[in-house]
Amino acid sequence: MLEMRFHARPGQGLEAAVELLTLAARAEGKYAQGFTKRSSSSKESSVRGFARVDEQPITVNTEIEEPDLIVVLDEGLLAHREVTKGLKPTGIVILNTSKAPSQIRGAYGCQATLGVVAADQIAQEILGTPLVNFPMLGAVIKVTQAVRLESLEPLLMERLGSGGKKIFAALQMAYMETVIQERET
């Protein structure tokens, strides 16, 4: 079972991305579940998302404490150690940033396999908005192969009509531009 945990700020569209991922997995005949949880502290507000995808029925329905994948929609959240807490030793972190993986390792001490993509830039360029949820989903698909990228297009068209074409283009661009650097040993 692939277990994913997402970290975002309110308004970044995390719920829509998690929902689209689970719908695509189900459309491919897989089992999937996803949900989000808003948390706020005195320091700042954030949203966490959780998704599971498997070939077998999923019997657990809890927050994911030890994910295979952590997806961070806002680089500033990576400064908080709890964001990467519990990541499995073979886990992967996907980050919305224009920085190279080596810069992220230096700045945050992240030793995991890293996937980076400039989702902010892609969203602005293609969608004309800072909404990074769908470009980040393209990066997730590239790194995990949890679903086929093509599975998302009909879902987007069904839900968003002609606007789905632009979103799918953003997904594709992020998929192509995601840079992956293996775990440092």
CB contact at 8 A, 75 and 8: no
The pair of structure tokens assigned to 49 is 């998302």
Q: Please, what is the angle between helix 163-177 and helix 152-160, to 10°?
A: 150
The pair of structure tokens assigned to 44 is 């700042």
pLDDT tens-digit profile of 66-83? 999 999 999 999 888 789
Residue 43 has pLDDT above 80, yes or no: no
Residue entry with tokens 């040993």: 185
Specify the pLDDT at position 46.
Answer: 86
Specify the pLDDT at position 42.
Answer: 44
Estimate to the nearest angstrom the gap between the alpha carbon of 135 and the chain centroid: 9
In this structure, whether the domain defined by 2-181 belongs to CATH 3.30.200.20 is answered with: no
Residue 48 has pLDDT above 60, yes or no: yes
Residue entry with tokens 């940033």: 97
φ, ψ for residue 42, nearest 5 deg: -65, -20
Q: CA-CA distance, 126 to 26, in Å (whole number)?
A: 27
Domain boundaries, the chain: 2-181
- Read off the pTM: 0.93
Query: In Å, how far are 9, 34, 105, 163, 184 from 47, measured between CA atoms?
Result: 6, 13, 24, 25, 29
